[in-house]
Structure 1
Amino acid sequence: MWTIAKITFREIVSKRIFLITILMTLAFIALYGVAIHFTAKDALSETSSNMGDLQNQFFASQLLSAGLYFSSFITALLAILSSVSAVSSEIDSHQIDTWLMRPISRLQFVLGKISGLTILLVAYAILLFVSITFLHQTLGGEALDLNLEFPQISRAISMFILQPIVLVTIGVMLSSRMTTLNAGIVLIILYGAAFIGGFVEQIGSLMEKTALMNIGIATSLLFPVDAVYRKMTLFLFDTADSPISFAQQGLFASASSPSNAMIVYTIIYAAIMLIIAVRTFSKRDV
């Protein structure tokens, strides 16, 4: 299993799409750093009063939420593009025949693929999360400082890396059943629907519209990646001494708080997708 994981890791790193993703990620981080730098300079003039300081704190939380939102989007795209071809490409190129001739079970093959992709994407997600948070806290200065502590950041990271893990598991499951193109289309549509449902739920919470909130909850049950992101923002901005909860403001944060039961559901959801992937590939005629 670990041999397949290592080979999968190397294959993804050697692909052009990974190089392009890294270059675009560096451009995004640089752009975010420039935006934080100039925003901090303008915000200094607003800290002369308590209301100005409160506004800066709110704006700082929104900037960090937006940066992490688009970071999760980039991570999700990399997870989707790398996982939907994990099994189907091996079958299409008939390289799977070489693998199955070796003393490797189909269970080990699927677990190896998922392990290799998960290790890569978790490392990428952690580095991206730390980079965005570090730039915000250092370049933002006192005007945009959110006083984030290590327990907050560590809990937020645990939620941030859960999203690519779920996406990889679902992507490999779809790849074991469909062609690469079909699996990619299905997963992208599901991902888009999840985040549209998330926005609808936040709007419904702000407007106190139960119907809109129920639509968002139903979407999260179908595809829970947005709920994981919203929980991440709550963990990140959860401070006992904060006068207001900045995590509950704006569309990039969480006006509607996902429960801990939703996170447990997400983990069970990923485990079920893993079981389906193994069973499907075990029965597939290659």
Structure 2
Amino acid sequence: MWTIAKLSFKEILLKRIFTITLCMTFAFLIFYGVAIHYAVSEIIPGESSGLSTAQDFMSKSFFSTQLLGIGLYFSSFITALLAILSSVGSIANEIESHQIDTWLTRPISRFSFLMGKWIGLCCLLIAYAAFLFISIVLIHQTMGGTAFHLDFTAAQIIKALALFLLQPVILISIAILLSTRMATLNAGIVLIILYGTGFIGGFVEQIGTLVHKTALVNMGIIASLLFPIDTMYRKMTIYLFDTGDNPLSIASQGLFGSVSTPSNTMIVYAVLYVLVAIFIAIRTFKSRDL
């Protein structure tokens, strides 16, 4: 199992798609840093444009949380694309190229082969997602100056980071499940549609909460149950920006924040979702005629 995990880790690490993604990631971080720099230069601390001190503070806090939310949102999107592209053919490609025959003639069970793939991919994507999350937060906090600086506790960062890292794990688990049942192209199409459905459902739920439309909220909840990727992002923003006595709880609401508060039960659901997906993938792979 661990040999497969190490080989899977190295395989993705050496692929051109990872190299390209890494280069574009650095370009994205540079662009984000420049955007933060120019956003700060447009805001002179203490100049409230006729607003009261409290209103000026809330205005700056809103823009600050939205800028951080934008960075984390697109970081989540980049991580998701890398997770999909690197894992959707993890089993299907081996079957289609008949390379899996070589592996299975050795004393390696199908369970060990699949779990090795899952562990290797998860380790790489978790490391990449952690790097991206920490980079975005550090760029925002260091280049944001006093105008955009946000006060986070260690607990807030750790909780938010944990949920950010759970997102690629969900995607990899479903990708491997689909890869045991479908061809690479078909699995990729299905996973991208599921991913899009999850995020569109999240936006629909936010809009439904704002306009008090129960039907829209219910549609969003159904989408989050089908694919809880957006719920984890929204819950992450709640953990990052909200505390009981923190005024940022109001400022964090917006397009890239969370108007509605996902239940803690959804975190448990997401973990069970991953476990069930892996369980079904193992059963499917064991019973598949190769």
TM-score bracket for the superposition, by shorter chain length = over 0.9
- Alpha-carbon distance in structure 1 between the residues aligned to 2:91 and 2:124: 17
1:201–1:215: 8 Å Cα contact kept in structure 2?
Answer: yes
- Tell me the percent identity: 59
2:90–2:179: 8 Å Cα contact kept in structure 1?
Answer: yes
Give the aligned partner of residue 209 of structure 1.
213
- Alpha-carbon distance in structure 1 between the residues aligned to 2:251 and 2:5: 37
Displacement of 1:249 in angstroms is 1.1
Give the aligned partner of residue 270 of structure 2.
266
**Structure 2: runs of 5+ lacking an equivalent:** none
Cα distance per residue 1:55-81 (max 9 Å; x no partner): 011110001011100000000011111
Q: What SS class does the counterpart of residue 70 from structure 1 fall into?
A: helix
User: How much is the aligned-residue C-alpha RMSD, in angstroms?
Assistant: 1.1
Give the aligned partner of residue 179 of structure 1.
183
Q: Where do 1:116-155 residues align within 5 Å? A: 116-155=120-159
Give the aligned partner of residue 26 of structure 1.
26
Runs (4+) off by over 4 Å: 45-49
Cα distance per residue 1:179-215 (max 9 Å; x no partner): 0000000000000011000000001111111110000
**Structure 1: runs of 5+ lacking an equivalent:** none
Displacement of 1:45 in angstroms is 4.7
2:12–2:86: 8 Å Cα contact kept in structure 1?
Answer: yes
Give the aligned partner of residue 104 of structure 1.
108
Range 35-44 or range 226-235, more displaced: 35-44
1:84–1:172: 8 Å Cα contact kept in structure 2?
Answer: yes
Q: Where do 1:234-245 residues align within 5 Å? A: 234-245=238-249
Displacement of 1:40 in angstroms is 1.1
- Alpha-carbon distance in structure 2 between the residues aligned to 1:185 and 1:112: 24
Taking a change above 3 Å as real, the CA distance of residues 136 and 248 of structure 1, as seen in their structure-2 partners, is closer
Q: What SS class does the counterpart of residue 43 from structure 1 fall into?
A: coil
Aligned length: 286
- Alpha-carbon distance in structure 1 between the residues aligned to 2:240 and 2:200: 22
Cα distance per residue 1:80-116 (max 9 Å; x no partner): 1111110000111111001001111000001000000
Q: What SS class does the counterpart of residue 112 from structure 2 fall into?
A: helix
What TM-score comes out, normalization by structure 1 length? Answer: 0.98
Give the aligned partner of residue 198 of structure 1.
202
2:282 corresponds to which of 244, 266, 278 = 278
